[in-house]
Amino acid sequence: MDVFEAVTSRRAVRGFTDRPVPKEVLERVLSTAAWAPSGSNLQPWHVYLLTGGPLAALKKCAGERLAAGDPWDEPEYEQYPPELKSPYRERRSAFGEQRYGALGIPREDVEARQRAASGNWECFGAPAALFCYIDRDLGPAQWSDLGMYLQTVMLLLRAEGLHSCTQMAWAKYHRSVAEILSPPDELILFCGMSIGFEDAAVDHVRTGRAPLGETVTFVDGD
Ligand SMILES: Cc1cc2nc3c(=O)[nH]c(=O)nc-3n(C[C@H](O)[C@H](O)[C@H](O)COP(=O)(O)O)c2cc1C
């Protein structure tokens, strides 16, 4: 698979089969992803890879908290500004329309939207999940390094025939994740990532992207 195909075939997959992901594949992907760039080569990612019993325990714990109506853990970082301005606000609501519209859920049916989002806590059925932490002393430039690292992981997963879904949702239950992983106190959970083989029977829509001219300016004198 070439890089263009890996990039364009990657998408947030929200339905996985229970087919296990071989450990040697995960090791190959993660040891190769370590070549992702980072400012001054800090490599600020701290990654935990969960499968089997520990992942099942985490899914169970999160599912129980959700069912009990337990409030989210206090946030350790702001996922979005409280007032998203244009054009981000419109893009976010277009995404919501696409994601829930594909499932036949209208905008006003908040409960059905929450039920669909609850798939996050089962990792959408995935048999493997990655959790990515960063040291709380590090700043925006190092957080951006995490993005480069995570995209590198996702593209390598495509090369192995696997799919993924990055999930900031897991930061809402960071205490439950920490109970299973026992990370050092100085780390903040940025996100989880479900990993596995796609369940082709699960409907999805391809998200769109803004036209190139909205996000890229060529400055070439022409
Ligand atoms: C940092 C990050 C966090 C995300 N968190 C979630 C999440 O919690 N749950 C979810 O279902 N999708 C999540 N997504 C997936 C995005 O919704 C998705 O990438 C975006 O809508 C574009 O769609 P695509 O990845 O299918 O191209 C996340 C993506 C990123 C990069």
- Long-range (24+ apart) CB contacts under 8 A made by 22-28 are 23/51, 25/160, 25/162, 26/51, 26/128, 26/195, 28/156, 28/160
Q: What's the count of helices (H) and strands (E) in the chain, helices before strands?
A: 8, 4
For residues 187-191, give the mean pLDDT. Answer: 98
> Distance, CA 171 to ligand 1 centroid (Å)?
13
Which of 166, 172, 173 to mutate for ligand 1's pocket (most ligand atoms within 8 Å of CB)?
A: 166
pLDDT tens sequence across 131-170? 999 999 999 999 999 999 999 999 999 999 999 999 999 9
Say if residue 10's pLDDT is above 80.
yes
Whether 197 is in a domain gets the answer yes
So what's the pLDDT on residue 50? 98
Whether 39 is in a domain gets the answer yes
So what's the pLDDT on residue 109? 83
So what's the pLDDT on residue 204? 85
So what's the pLDDT on residue 205? 84
What are the backbone dihedrals phi and psi of residue 84, each rounded to the nearest 5 degrees, phi first? -75, 130
Residue 25 burial class via C-beta count within 10 angstroms: exposed 0-12, middle 13-18, buried 19 and up: middle
- CATH code for position 155: 3.40.109.10
- Tell me the torsion sign for CA atoms 65, 111, 127, 33: negative
> Distance, CA 167 to ligand 1 centroid (Å)?
6
* DSSP state string for 18-29: -PPPPHHHHHHH
Whether 218 is in a domain gets the answer no
CA-CA distances (angstroms) from residue 214 to 81, 88, 121, 218? 21, 12, 34, 11
Whether 165 is in a domain gets the answer yes
Whether 107 is in a domain gets the answer no
Which of 9, 103, 165 to mutate for ligand 1's pocket (most ligand atoms within 8 Å of CB)?
A: 165
Q: What span, in angstroms and rounded, lies between the C-alpha atoms of 192 and 177?
A: 9
- Lowest-confidence range among 32-46, 99-113, 159-173? 99-113
Length of the chain, in residues: 222
Say which DSSP state 102 is in: T
- Lowest-confidence range among 18-22, 95-99, 196-200? 95-99
Which candidate, 13, 21, 7, places its Cα nearest to that of 152? 7
- Counting the structural domains of the chain, the total is 1
CB 191 within 8 A of CB 168: yes
- For the Cβ of 167 lying below 6 angstroms from any atom of ligand 1, the answer is yes
Atom of ligand 1 nearest to the CA of 119: 11
Whether 181 is in a domain gets the answer yes
Say if residue 179's pLDDT is above 90.
yes
Say if residue 61's pLDDT is above 90.
yes
Confidence class for position 28, pLDDT limits 50, 70, 90: very high
The pTM score is 0.96
Confidence class for position 22, pLDDT limits 50, 70, 90: very high
3-state SS, residue 9: helix
So what's the pLDDT on residue 57? 98
Strand 46-51 to 187-196 pairing? unpaired
CA-CA distances (angstroms) from residue 118 to 52, 63, 85, 145, 202? 20, 8, 27, 29, 15
Confidence class for position 51, pLDDT limits 50, 70, 90: very high
Whether 60 is in a domain gets the answer yes
Which candidate, 15, 27, 16, places its Cα nearest to that of 156? 27
Say if residue 222's pLDDT is above 90.
no
So what's the pLDDT on residue 181? 98
Q: What span, in angstroms and rounded, lies between the C-alpha atoms of 161 and 196?
A: 9
- Expressed as residue numbers, the domain containing 133 is 3-79+120-205
Whether 105 is in a domain gets the answer no
Averaged pLDDT of the chain:
95
